[in-house]
Structure 1
């Protein structure tokens, strides 16, 4: 079980892909982890608390946060990793698409981040990290992405606003803007096409993202940063 001085991270969207990689990375760093997603299974690791729920529901944020504090006694880092990406021409988005993307990408960020920041203020510091997309900065006509840009662009702006609001109170806020990462959500038959979107000529690996997040975790002089881990997409083509 955790010790009183062991740091604790909450990771949303933690059941597979980048989220599962982040759980493993933070455990290797020595953190206890509160891992949440709609489908997450219980962990055999006593230092990983799995909490099922839809982060788009503010009640899930309340449950995740309360369970983490009850089990581990503190919250030091929040990684807002949960996200939905729907690529459609703008006029083809439905109300259901809009509600789903806003729900996870923005509402899912809002309440759990409020709770985390409140706790971090009481503890004297902490770190909030958002997982975004380079499409916010570098739109691509081959990847229609207005809903992603609307929501993840909002998170990038919020990342900087949080960083400045809490800069003198020990809380840092950063983001990682992704290219296309090789996860179960991308079938293998599309990998060659997706790799070609990146000037570097390949898709990203989960470890590319976890390494970037851990860099930010261990960089106390870095706040308000949007770190592009995107194979060069944000630089141009």
Structure 2
């Protein structure tokens, strides 16, 4: 039986590329986002929904188990990033960011980890950000650090809690990746934020996810894919 991965935020960018990467590995994929469209690929089950609603998480995991018979991995890619000076954040910003980055992570990871432990093992990979380790005055993003920093800490905590149940927890901590969310006119500025002098590519992140998937002795790892950002400037 083919293994099954759930990928959140799967309709574009890193999420869509992650779906493709797992299909190349021969896995079946449960792909979810608010705007996900049905797939012509029988190995991809599209489940639309807003992760900020806890009921959606249960529906996604149940759909994967019902359709494919199991859930082996979860890639927590969905996230909201709003860069503003701290004093300019609104209550609506806070609710939007924490709704997906924290509540969404909590709900779907709880459901997935339970299913994995029940079937004897699994793996959770969460996408964080290197801004957690390397704050930069050129990119003010305290709410990203508040939420994604919490996810990095939870990754280590859950790795220990579930270690004897054969469920691994890891994270990929990217720098700024070249995706459609970054207009071309910002690329020069964003490239300069990395010691290597360029932005990362989506494939850099998916390669890291696949590495962690295929590394059974690695758990509790925060893998930085950030052009040296976390090391310094």
Shorter-chain TM-score range: over 0.9
Count, aligned residues: 233
* d(CA) in 2 for partners of 1:164, 1:130: 16
- Note if 1:167 corresponds to 2:163: yes
* d(CA) in 1 for partners of 2:13, 2:184: 14
Aligned to 2:106: 110
- Note if 1:70 corresponds to 2:77: no
Report deviation, 1:229.
0.2
1:106-140 C-alpha deviation (Å, 9 max, x unpaired)? 00101111111111111100000100000001100
Aligned to 1:135: 131
* d(CA) in 2 for partners of 1:180, 1:121: 34
- For 1:162-201, what aligned pairs fall within 5 Å after superposition? 162-201=158-197
Runs (5+) with no aligned partner, structure 2: none
Aligned to 1:228: 224
Aligned to 1:25: 21
Q: Secondary structure at the match of 1:87?
A: coil
1:165-210 C-alpha deviation (Å, 9 max, x unpaired)? 0111100000000100011111111111111110111111000000
Cα RMSD for the two superposed structures: 0.6
Q: TM-score, normalised by structure 1?
A: 0.97
Report deviation, 1:59.
1.3
Runs (5+) with no aligned partner, structure 1: none
Report deviation, 1:63.
1.4
Report deviation, 1:100.
0.3
* d(CA) in 1 for partners of 2:59, 2:165: 26
Aligned to 1:58: 54
* Match 1:205 to one of 201, 206, 218: 201
Q: TM-score, normalised by structure 2?
A: 0.99
* d(CA) in 1 for partners of 2:18, 2:162: 24
